[in-house]
Amino acid sequence: MIFVTVGTHEQPFNRLVGEIDKLAREGRLGEDAFIQRGLGAIIPEYCQSKEMLSFQELTQKVSEARIVITHGGPGSIMMPLMLGKPPIVVPRQRSFGEHVDNHQVDFTRRLEIGNKVIPIYDISLIADAINEYDMLCSKLKLESKDEKTLKQLTSHLDELTVSIARRNIPRSQ
């Protein structure tokens, strides 16, 4: 199963939800998909979906999924990484009205540099990433799921989040 989450941000992420539903309609996913669709206008016709999930439901979906596709929020990225499932990350972009700025793009690029995630900046490339998921994962630098690795990953993500947040905070003169 492919699990897609767009998080809880109030701006819709119709670009991702619509593309996954289109791929399902065309039979290009190769398996069922479930979308946590958020507050967007699109209700998928070819995938199961729910607007919001409880933390327990979210954890269950991530655990059950073969592939996790997520927006660029640190919390949504961390969970699949902690379960040893490198996510396909489609960061929300300001130019599409999906967020107030491009901090998700910046955060995704930092993780991409560290070979931790499979980034998608152009939504038309997501079908290829899904089809080539296992091969793309084999190129990433992921360690075992032991406790030390999880602590290091959590620490690294926290540092990146603080660093990016500091760059996006307007400074008084």
90 pLDDT higher than 60: yes
pTM: 0.82
* More confidently predicted of 98 and 33: 33
Quickly state the pLDDT bin for 164 (edges 50, 70, 90): low
- How much is the mean pLDDT over the chain? 87
Q: Judge: domain 2-168, CATH 3.30.559.10.
A: no
Per-residue pLDDT at 166: 61
143 pLDDT higher than 80: no
Quickly state the pLDDT bin for 173 (edges 50, 70, 90): very low
**38-76 pLDDT tens trace:** 988 899 999 999 999 999 999 999 999 999 999 999 989
**Minimal CA–CA distance to 140: which of 113, 166, 122, 163?**
113
* More confidently predicted of 145 and 127: 127
Per-residue pLDDT at 142: 64
